[in-house]
Amino acid sequence: MDQTMHAQFNSYFFDLVSFIASASLIFAYHLFIRSKVKKDPTYTVQAINIIARTSWVETIMHERRDILAVQTLRNSTMAATFLASTSVLMIIGILTLSEGGKLESTWHVLNIVGATPPELWLTKLICLLLDMFVAFFSFSMSIRVFNHVGYMVNVPIALNHKMISPAHVATHLNRAGKFYSLGMRAYYFMVPLVFWLFGPHFMFISTIGLLVVLYRIDRAPKIMAMDYSDVG
C-alpha cells in the first residue's frame, strides 16, 4: 500500500509543484501590488477608479445629472451581464470536457512530465469550474449592486437621508466595482488553469506570462510632462 501511494505521489509530483508554484506567484504578486498601493494610493488603475467613482457620485448627486447616471450605470450593468452570461457558457463547455474519451487523450499529447490519470483530469476541470463559478457570482453580485446604486444615486440630497449620502452611495458603487474586478481576475486566472490541461510546465510558463501582462495593465499610466520647447 505504501509503495502504491508513493508511486501515485511521484506521478503527481510535477503537477503538484506546478500548481503550488503558480498559486504562490499569483499570491505574491497581489501582496506586492497591495504594498505598492499602501505607499502610493494612485499606483494601480483600480485605485484610481475608486477615486473616480467616488468623485462621480458626488458630482451626479450634487448637480442632479440623472440621465448621465442612468446611462453610465446601464453601461456597467450591460458589461457585467455579458461577462456573467459568458461565464455560464464556459461552465457548460467545461462540463462537456468532463466526458473525457478520445478528447482527453488528445489534450495530453504535449504533456511531457505531468500525470495523465482520469482522476487528475477531473481535478483540473473542477478547478476550472470553481474559477468560472467565482466569475459568475462576482459579476452577478456586481449587477445586483449596480441596480441598487441606480436607485440611490437619484435620491435628492435635500432629503438629508443618513444612509443615502454621496459617501454612502459611493461605497456601494465601489463595492460593485470590486465585484467586477474580482470577476475579471477569475477570467485572467483561467489562463494558467486551461494550460494546465496540456501539462504542468505549460501552467507555470503561462502563469509567468500572465503576471507580466497583469503588471502592465494594473499599473496606472504615469502622467508625462509635455515638452513645449520645440513647439512653434
Q: Give the residue numbers spanning the domain of 106.
A: 40-218
Which of 210, 202, 206 is closest to 14 using CA atoms? 202
From first to last of the 232 residues of the chain, give the pLDDT tens digit.
Answer: 444 544 455 567 788 888 999 999 999 999 999 999 999 888 889 999 999 999 999 988 888 887 888 889 999 999 999 999 999 999 998 888 777 555 556 666 656 666 666 778 888 889 999 999 999 999 999 999 999 998 888 888 877 777 788 889 899 999 999 999 999 999 999 999 998 888 888 899 999 999 999 999 999 887 654 444 444 3
Domain presence at residue 30 = no
Q: Rounded distance, CA 232 to CA 117, Å?
A: 70
Q: Rounded distance, CA 42 to CA 58, Å?
A: 19
Domain presence at residue 45 = yes
Tens digits of per-residue pLDDT, 145-167? 999 998 888 888 877 777 788 88
User: How many domains, in total, are found in the chain?
Assistant: 1
Question: The whole model's pTM is what?
Answer: 0.84
Q: Decide if 99 contacts 161 (C-beta within 8 A).
A: no
Which of 177, 196, 193 is closest to 90 using CA atoms? 193
Cell of 16: 503538484
Alpha-carbon Rg of the chain, whole angstroms? 23
Q: What is the pLDDT of residue 101?
A: 55
